[in-house]
Amino acid sequence: MAEPPILFDRILHRRRLDRAAAGFSAAGFLKARAAEDAVARLEALMRSFPRAVDLGARDGAFAGALAASPAREKVGLLVEADLSGSMLAGREGVRAQLDEERLPFADESLDLVVSTLSLHWTNDLPGALIQIRRALKPDGAFIGAIFGGATLSELRQALMQADSEISGGAGPRISPFADVLDAAALLQRAGFALPVADVDRVQVGYAHPMDLVRDLRAMGETNVLADRRALSRKALARACDLYLERFSRPDGRISATFEIITMTGWAPHPSQQQPLRPGSAKMRLADALGVKEQSAGDKAGG
C-alpha cells in the first residue's frame, strides 16, 4: 500500500503551535466558535459518553464550552490531546501530547472523539479518520471541524498574483482544503455510519492584511507546507496592496473568509438506522410528487 504524500511539515507545525501557545486565546475566536458548535450538537444527543477525547485541544476551548453547557452531564472522562505540549501546559484534567496521525488509543475504547480545527493539518486525513473510527466503541460518536475550501480565498488570490508579478510564478502559500462534499465522502470512506457534513462560513474584518497575518501566526495556522519557499518582502508588500484594492469593504476594512466544515459520524452498530434495500419502496416517486410518470425516452410536454 502506497504511503500518502507528505504535504505538511509536522515538526514545523508543532513548533509553530508551541510558539503560539502563550497568546493563542487572544486569536482563538474561530476555535471557540467551532467548539461551541460541537457542544451544541452534543446537547441534541440523547445519550451519555463516559470516555471522550478532544483531539487538537489547543487552549481548551471545547472543555470550556462544555463546562458551561448542560451537555457537561453527558460526558464523563475528557482527555485533552494536542500535538503541542505547550498548548496543554498549566491546565487541570487529563492531558496527552500526541500526533493525530498516530493515535495511541486501543480499538473500541472511546465513546466520543471531538476535534475542532486541527485535523486539516494531517498528511493523511482519511487515515486519521479511520484511526478515530477504530478507537470508538460501536455506536460511538465523532464530531470534527476542519477548515474548508473557501478559507482565506482572498489572501490566496492576492499572494498568487503578487508571486506571479514579481517572480514569474506562483508557489504554494496556503494549504489545500477540502470542500463539504469531500468531507462527507471522507467519513464514508473511513467507515463511519450516518455521515453528515455542513458548512459555517465566517467573514472577518481587518484594518490591514498584516493584521490577518498576525492572527494566523497567533493561531499557529501559518504555512507549513513541505514544498514551500520564502516569501520576499517585495512580494508580501505587493500582496497587501492587491488585497486592499480587491477586498476592501465600504467601511474601509478588508474581508477574510473562513469556512468551517463540521463532520459528524458514528461507529457502526446494528441498532442504527439502515438504508432501505433498492426496490423496497412501497410508493412510486411519481405518486408521491403528484406527477405523471414517463419513460426516460419520452419527450416532456410543453
Q: Could you tell me if 20 and 83 are in contact, meaning their C-beta atoms sit under 8 angstroms apart? A: no
Among the listed ranges 7-16, 195-204, 280-289, which one has the minimum average pLDDT value? 280-289
If you compute the radius of gyration of the chain from its CA atoms, what whole number of angstroms results? 22
Say what the pTM is. Answer: 0.88
Give Cα separations from 282 to 274, 278, 279, 286, 291 (angstroms). Answer: 17, 11, 9, 12, 17
Q: How confident is the model at residue 166 (pLDDT cuts 50, 70, 90)?
A: confident
Residue 76, all three cell numbers: 464523563
Per-residue confidence band for 274, with pLDDT thresholds at 50, 70 and 90: low
Please, which pLDDT band fits residue 178 given cuts at 50, 70 and 90?
confident
Higher pLDDT, 175 or 253: 253
pLDDT band at 179 (very low <50, low <70, confident <90, very high): confident
- Could you report the per-residue pLDDT of 38-97, keeping only the tens digit for each? 999 999 999 999 999 999 999 999 999 999 999 999 999 999 999 999 999 999 999 999
3-state secondary structure of 46: coil
Which domains occur in the chain, in start order?
Answer: 10-153+173-208+256-289 (3.40.50.150)
Q: Which three cell numbers stand for residue 257?
A: 473568509
Mean pLDDT of the residues in the chain:
90
Residues 211-270 pLDDT 10s:
999 999 999 999 999 888 888 899 999 999 999 999 999 999 999 999 999 999 999 988
Q: Which residue has the higher pLDDT, 171 or 255?
A: 255
pLDDT at 302: 42
Residue type, 300: A
C-alpha cell at 94: 487529563
What is the pLDDT, as a whole number, of residue 294? 58
Q: How far is CA 21 from the centre of its chain?
A: 19
Q: At residue 290, does pLDDT exceed 70?
A: no
Length of the chain: 302
Alpha carbons 90 and 175: distance in angstroms, whole number: 31
3-state class of 178 per DSSP? Answer: strand
Q: Provide the β-strand partners of residue 265.
A: 142
